[in-house]
Structure 1
Amino acid sequence: MSSTSPHSDAAAESQPRSQLIILAVLALGLGAFLIIRPTLSLDVLALLVGAGFLVHGVVIIVHDRESELHGPSWWRRALVFEAVLWVAAGVFVLLHMGLTVRVLAAVIAAGLLVGGVRTASGAFRRSIGVDDRVAAGALGAASAILGLLALLWPDITLLVAAVAFGARLVIDGCTAGWRALRGATGPSRGRAPGRMRRFARTTAAIASLALAVAAGAVSVGLHEGSPVVDEFYAPSRDVPDAPGQLIRAEPFTRGVPEGAIGWRILYTSSRADGTPAVASGLVVVPENGPGHWPVADWPHGTTGFGQQCAPSLLEDPFGSGALFVLPEIIDRGWALVATDYIGLGTEGPHPYLIGEDSARASLDAVRAAGQLGPADLSTDVVAWGHSQGGGAALWSGASAADYSPELTLHGVAALAPAANLPALVRNLPNVTGGSVFASFVVAAYTENYPDVTWREYIRPGAEQTVRSMSTRCLSEPGMLVSVLDVLALSADPAIFRDDPTAGPLGARLAQNVPRATIPAPVLIGQGEADTLVIPAAQQEYVDEVRAAGGQIDYRTYPGVDHVPLVEADSPLIPELLAWTDGRFGDS
């Protein structure tokens, strides 16, 4: 007859209990961090997820397997198989910290899918009640749904999957901690769950399924709300080499005010080095009147860097680029020609804040629109632009005489223009949402200039987040993910690893500051409350132009911020319209 001493019983009990306490603390800590900060840099997220995989696998081995010793053999083998997969996945992630978003999302997805299938299969065990079947089926389905989402749309649902896995770890921690505190480390000490506990578990499982379905609906909505580039933007093979040639046009009505008619156009352009390019844009003219309309040439404000971010593709084609006074333009008997720029709608890369390329796209839009017979445009032009478009308008003023001599440019109105680019980019870390604009700048300059690289200017931990951010349009639903990214990055060090105004990027930014010599009259309007294009930087640019002999009518507006400067009720608008009337009156 054998006996066991009290000391050995205590030791046997304390060892698994201490293991459960350690696992509970680790699972709760990792899970809470993933839930609170799912948009951490990719490397940190990978570290947390890898550690979480290991903890979850060990929890299955130490806790779940012990609690299921009386289950069928196939179920016990499934538990062991799942635990091994989680541990292997954790080791894989920790040994490969340079994983991309897609690979990390795929690993999380695989874990969620395998765990979901195993959990859902528990609903078919004969030895459990109805409530346990419902709980197993709901939890398994929730895990599988999140796994599928992470596979289908990793850029958006990596965040969702990270939160879901964090919640799974929190549940692991709570369960392990509860069992440790009760001292129930094995089936011999366990008791059948009470009615309230079964009810709570079933309710939590159903709630998890509802949240997973909601996450799926949100992900679908974010993707379905994104603009889609259609066949209109694909040029035929016989595109003319000469810039400013109309390729095709079709009627366009979205956002066109009453009393006006519009077209969407595709046309040829060129880059600063002479490389042929294709761009798209919009043309709007009064429906009735004498014709031969003078042209307000509008290079739009920032809409994004991705190809799908062309204003002509967006739900609000004019307001998205900060043009809020189209009815006033039409009422005055002017036409609007609004380029999408190269690379928005058409193949890129888009020359975001790259002056000469943007100016050529804008001027070529007017030249091409002049070939659209029903539009009946004159060659009298005034360039307007806001923010990104303001810088492009200034470049149009400097380039028009040489690049498009058939057009008569009577003036340039640059409204909060992105002119002093080094100062603008240097200020972005201080701007709410500045990381989004920084992502557009770095994406554009790395794709247009081979001497500028991501790794030189974006800290490694933020690079993948910033790259993903640069692919979304400001007005598309997916920008919600960028907002969450910005909130996460705001708690981390600045996204720039080095001064963005130094080295190759700094030199390229300086290269794209609009030139001082603009033959036509120039109006620059600036809101004094602008936090993006700060007044001090604008004043510095104006002073430098004037010192170089340039003439600028510089007007500031107290209490007015960046976008409100160009809204219909802005104090700038009546002055802008009167100033433009004067320019066309000189023609």
Structure 2
Amino acid sequence: MRRFVRPLLVALLVLVGVPPVAAAGPVPGPPGDAFYTPPSPLPAGVPGDVVWWRALPARSGVQGYLVLYRSESATGAPIAVTGRVLVPTTPWPSGVRPIVSVASGTRGVGDRCAPSKFQPDYEKPLFIDAMLGRGWAVAITDYEGLGTPGGHTYVVGRSEGRSVIDAARAATRLPATGLAAGGPVAFAGYSQGGGGAAWAGELAPSYAPELAVVGIAAGGTPADLTAVARHLEGGIGFGFLLLAAFGLDSAYDELDLPAYLNEKGRAVYATQQDACVDAVFGYAFGRIADYTTSDPLSRSDWQARLAENRLGAHPPAAPVYLYHGLVDEIIPLSQAQTLRREYCAAGVDVTWGVFLGEHVTTMVSAAGDVVSYLADRFAGKPPRTNC
């Protein structure tokens, strides 16, 4: 409904003889890291509007743009998120150039780890370069609280999905990109990004009904955070569970993570708010009891928020490619299989893929299939479902 409000107001103003005031367009952003600090208060607008931007150096036939755009938090509050829009400089042959909104995999929770800052960009050679090579535009969100003020809402799907959707909107609302609204859009991501892409798919029909979403590719997807937490407890990836606790605490004020922490937990909470992904393996084989006086995940308020961020309740309208590693040591295969069954039962066109690999090797093995799957969706081919 919100997208109709401004046109209606303009029409009413014209009828009563009041000239409408043109909406301010995106403005150049400040240099350096000041770009990542939004104006306060945010200028008026709607999700996907670009607040400010700057051009990035052109590389290998691609022009990039750094953008600060409006989105919404997990609780529906207006926020600003940074990200990048990458556009091939070669003309699109006909029609409207497709856009893939890429949800990045885990970079960490610190501002210095934002995808637009963090190097190396491990997804670039696997996915992004191939997408750009097909002539598609690519939007890559930094997510809430990565780069921008506030804590990063790591693996909180209702925040991440909106950031992914609004990155696609922002790509068409920055005139410099030359991208037009109304063209085909896809969401893609792996690991944390698999959750972000799948959540974008679930939220899009109600949150962004104007988008022509033609496909979703989500791999290594944390569909059920409770099941993922049980899997990580005592395992090599326990550090990801710590980051997830930080993320939920950042998204929902009432969870109050510090109230559950013992001395060791308080030290981690105080020193690891800027942690990047390389830090997580320093906590391998840890347990929740090592850091807490009582388990917050057993509390009703935490359980409610975990359930709220479980995928499957709002099946996407677009076809979905779900894929996972058979021996994924970070995100359990079983909860991804459950999501597949739920989507299939709801009538979603699901293509399911399993790879003989663990978490990282599966991402590498699946990259070509992901790009081919999205190419078929942009070409209008019917998906090959295997429910």
Q: What is the TM-score with the length of structure 2 in the denominator?
A: 0.80
Structure 2 residue 206 is the aligned partner of structure 1 residue 402: yes
Structure 1 residues not aligned, in runs of 5+? 1-227
Query: CA, structure 1 residues 538+499, in 2 after alignment: closer, same or farther (shift >3 Å)?
Result: farther
Between the aligned partners of 2:170 and 2:118, the Cα distance in structure 1 is 22
Contact 1:229 1:308 in 2 (8 A): no
Query: CA, structure 1 residues 447+298, in 2 after alignment: closer, same or farther (shift >3 Å)?
Result: same
Aligned to 1:507: 304
Between the aligned partners of 1:457 and 1:270, the Cα distance in structure 2 is 28
SS of 1:283's partner is strand
Aligned to 2:233: 429
Query: What RMSD, in angstroms, separates the aligned Cα atoms of the two structures?
Result: 2.7
Question: Which residues of 2 match residues 85-124 of structure 1 at below 5 A?
Answer: none
Query: CA, structure 1 residues 441+492, in 2 after alignment: closer, same or farther (shift >3 Å)?
Result: closer
Contact 1:229 1:307 in 2 (8 A): no
Cα deviation for residue 273 of structure 1 reads 3.5
**1:8-34 superposed Cα distances (whole Å, 9 cap, x missing partner):** xxxxxxxxxxxxxxxxxxxxxxxxxxx
Question: Which residues of 2 match residues 161-176 of structure 1 at below 5 A?
Answer: none
Question: Which residues of 2 match residues 405-484 of structure 1 at below 5 A?
Answer: 405-435=209-239, 437-455=240-258, 457-474=260-277, 479=279, 483-484=281-282
Structure 2 residue 100 is the aligned partner of structure 1 residue 296: yes
Q: One-letter code of the match for 2:323?
A: G
Cα deviation for residue 296 of structure 1 reads 0.9
SS of 1:338's partner is strand
Aligned to 2:156: 354
Question: Which residues of 2 match residues 88-237 of structure 1 at below 5 A?
Answer: 230-237=33-40
Structure 2 residue 376 is the aligned partner of structure 1 residue 582: yes
Structure 2 residue 360 is the aligned partner of structure 1 residue 557: no
SS of 1:263's partner is strand
Aligned to 2:7: none
Q: Highest Rg: 1 or 2? A: 1
Structure 2 residue 321 is the aligned partner of structure 1 residue 523: yes
Contact 1:439 1:469 in 2 (8 A): no
Bigger mean CA deviation after superposition, 339-348 or 573-582:
573-582
Aligned to 2:83: 281
Aligned length: 344
Aligned to 1:251: 55
Between the aligned partners of 2:38 and 2:254, the Cα distance in structure 1 is 30
Between the aligned partners of 1:495 and 1:508, the Cα distance in structure 2 is 21
Between the aligned partners of 1:229 and 1:473, the Cα distance in structure 2 is 20
Between the aligned partners of 2:125 and 2:300, the Cα distance in structure 1 is 35
Cα deviation for residue 441 of structure 1 reads 1.4
Aligned to 1:324: 126
Cα deviation for residue 459 of structure 1 reads 4.5
Percent of aligned positions that are identical: 29
Aligned to 2:10: none
Aligned to 1:12: none
Cα deviation for residue 431 of structure 1 reads 2.8
Cα deviation for residue 492 of structure 1 reads 10
2:170 to 368, 374, 381: 368
Aligned to 1:23: none
Contact 1:268 1:277 in 2 (8 A): yes
Bigger mean CA deviation after superposition, 323-332 or 380-389:
323-332
Larger relative contact order (CA 8 Å, sep ≥ 6): 2
Could you list the structure 1 runs, at least 4 aligned residues long, displaced by more than 6 angstroms after superposition: none
Between the aligned partners of 1:529 and 1:322, the Cα distance in structure 2 is 24
Between the aligned partners of 2:354 and 2:274, the Cα distance in structure 1 is 34
Q: One-letter code of the match for 1:281?
A: G
Q: One-letter code of the match for 1:345?
A: G
Query: CA, structure 1 residues 553+459, in 2 after alignment: closer, same or farther (shift >3 Å)?
Result: farther
**1:529-568 superposed Cα distances (whole Å, 9 cap, x missing partner):** 210012122212322333455442211011x12122222x
Query: CA, structure 1 residues 491+508, in 2 after alignment: closer, same or farther (shift >3 Å)?
Result: closer
Structure 2 residue 342 is the aligned partner of structure 1 residue 544: yes
Query: CA, structure 1 residues 327+450, in 2 after alignment: closer, same or farther (shift >3 Å)?
Result: closer
Structure 2 residues not aligned, in runs of 5+? 1-30, 382-387
SS of 1:277's partner is strand
